Structure 1
């Protein structure tokens, strides 16, 4: 990453099918779903290309596309740990997507504009050691998707994990709200109220998507998120996915709460930006015709996203806040051991 970076997309996905020895896999159920074909197109790859060139091709395509952005300097590319069984080991039979830390750490180390976002399921028998390893490998944050990884953030057995996370200074980016990108999900685990435990222990938590959909405990997840924000100054949120068709109006609701503006960080949820689900047309009623045309003419997905979110009122400081919150490595040349 070059010096002087100010805008970082903290929420960018990658994927893989195990090609080139990546260690990635996608479950048979997901590969048989229509979603799999959509994701391949969104990543601008074919399955045959991955078989020929390896899963690292996706990372190269992300970096190349991002390098053509005028407005975004770097992206945090996210690993994805799987479901862990009672024996403390990965359970492939119920894991839909697995993207190892080692693969993401090695690949991101080769690109100036990509940063390593780690993922460690805290139920792993060696979870604390894995945390130390990903930090040594240059991780800037830790990513969870509880409803898919079957992680209960409120589980008191996770206290030692949270304390290590806090002491390492590694922010926890965790999905809040319902999850609709997989074939099944335990959406009760995306309840923001379940984050009360790590927040009370001093962990910096970033609520992915700002709890923009779903309900728990008889109220909206967003209301539950707002209550937590009033209690914990270490709770933040990213603005990834909140302009998508299935979350129309949420950015406006979020921005009505001026007290939250200093808690927001820029993210995209790439590659979903390229599927059409976040088209500027969904917000045409809020944009002048000239501004809408200008956004539509922008072919780079990051630049289009930034321009649209700016036009919808997202404050400029949101786009440059990540560097102060992430665990930024002193240099991008770090030891990428295979955790």
Structure 2
């Protein structure tokens, strides 16, 4: 099976694999409990197979990934191979991304090439705050060089995060690493690397808009927030100058596409802009090809 782009109503570029097949969670217990409290509900931990069923019912494709932050948290990640294999079982709706802890050095570079070549991975997710690194640290450039050479995108968390929010010392997570201005420098040094700046980038929303406006290879995804809470300048730019650079993302399971899409309908957007955000921009950013 392959994606039938014409049959899809949308492409969600930001969803999380929270649970491995043997029950291993993506986050340490204390961070998972803090995340659930922050989002004011017990957050479900779907398997990849459950994600597929959920999205298939809605005729939405989903980019799926976990986060490898073992160096910072001491918590072993869900295996990228397992996520990719699960997505391969449901290739009509799921698009596999991988996550590599940049602190793994040369091993991460080799893993990136192997995951794309042997496991069909279509991109990579980074969470600088959770993983504890400056994206512009030159020590990690060989990893970006490999991803650029592989021709797949890199998605970077930006702005604040619900992970660690409200915990003592924020769970040890530092927000400073997720300023989208870091991507501005990477966009200069890696002009052929498509980058997705994830989330409304509070408190750096204007910085994210400026980078996406200035750098052709930088997109913004709208995940992690209900659209009714989007900063007004984000809505204004998505409806005009950045209408080809903004992507639908939910952050499932903490925010469901049902809730996100219902609130998205209430935004004052031009009719021509809605299909761009919901699907067409993602087709371009992800390098998808119609079946």
TM value normalised by structure 1: 0.71
- Render the CA deviation track for 1:281-332: whole Å, top value 9, x for unaligned: xxxxxxxxxxxxxxxxxxxxx345324313313522111221222144898x
Is 1:232 matched up with 2:222?
A: no
1:58/1:66 CA distance change after superposition, 3 Å: same
**Cα gap change, 1:39 to 1:66, in 2 (>3 Å):** farther
- Are the structure 2 counterparts of residues 40 and 77 from structure 1 closer, same or farther at C-alpha, using a change threshold of 3 Å? farther
| Aligned residue among 274, 286, 289 for 1:326 | 286
- When residues 40 and 117 of structure 1 are mapped into structure 2, their CA distance, relative to the original with a 3 A threshold, is farther
Mapped contact 2:181–2:211 kept (Cα < 8 A)? yes
After superposition, the CA RMSD in angstroms is: 2.8
Is 2:50 the partner of 1:98?
no
Task: Give me the whole-angstrom Cα distance separating, in 1, the residues matched to 2:252 and 2:36.
Answer: 15
In structure 2, the residue matched to 1:194 is: 182
Give the superposition deviation at 1:75.
Answer: 0.6
Alignment correspondent of 1:14: 17
Q: Distance in 2 between matches of 1:230 and 1:322?
A: 17
Q: Tell me: CA distance 1:330–1:24, structure 2 relative to 1, closer, same or farther (3 Å).
A: farther
8 Å CA contact 2:39, 2:254 repeated in 1: no
> What secondary structure does 1:61 align onto?
helix
In the alignment, the residues of structure 2 paired with residue 100 and residue 326 of structure 1 have an alpha-carbon distance, to the nearest angstrom, of 22
Give me the whole-angstrom Cα distance separating, in 1, the residues matched to 2:247 and 2:65: 16
Match of 1:63 among 42, 52, 70: 52
Q: Is the 8 A contact 1:265 1:318 kept in 2?
A: yes
Q: For the Cα contact (< 8 Å) 2:38–2:162, is it kept in 1?
A: no
Alignment partner of 1:306 is 2:261: yes
1:12 deviation in Å?
0.7
For the 8 Å contact 1:13–1:269, the answer to whether it is kept is: yes
Q: Note closer, same or farther for the CA distance 1:330–1:262 as it changes in structure 2 (3 Å cut).
A: closer
> Equivalent of 2:196, from 206, 229, 235?
206
Q: 8 Å contact 2:160–2:175 — kept in the other structure? A: yes
Partner SS, residue 98 of structure 1: coil
Structure 1 unaligned regions, length at least 5: 46-56, 85-90, 215-220, 275-301, 332-339
Name which one, 1 or 2, has greater alpha-carbon Rg: 1
- Once the two structures are superposed, residues 241-294 of structure 1 have per-residue CA deviations (whole angstroms, 9 ceiling, x without a partner) of 23268xx242x32121221111101111111125xxxxxxxxxxxxxxxxxxxx
CA distance in 2: counterparts of 1:312 and 1:133, whole angstroms? 42
Q: CA deviation at 1:59?
A: 2.0
SS at match of 2:14: strand
**Structure 2, unpaired ranges of 5+:** none
The 1:233/1:191 distance shift into structure 2, 3 A limit, reads: same
Aligned-pair CA distance for 1:62: 1.8
Counterparts of 2:40 and 2:97, CA distance in 1: 20
> Contact 1:80–1:100 (CA<8 Å) still a contact in 2?
no
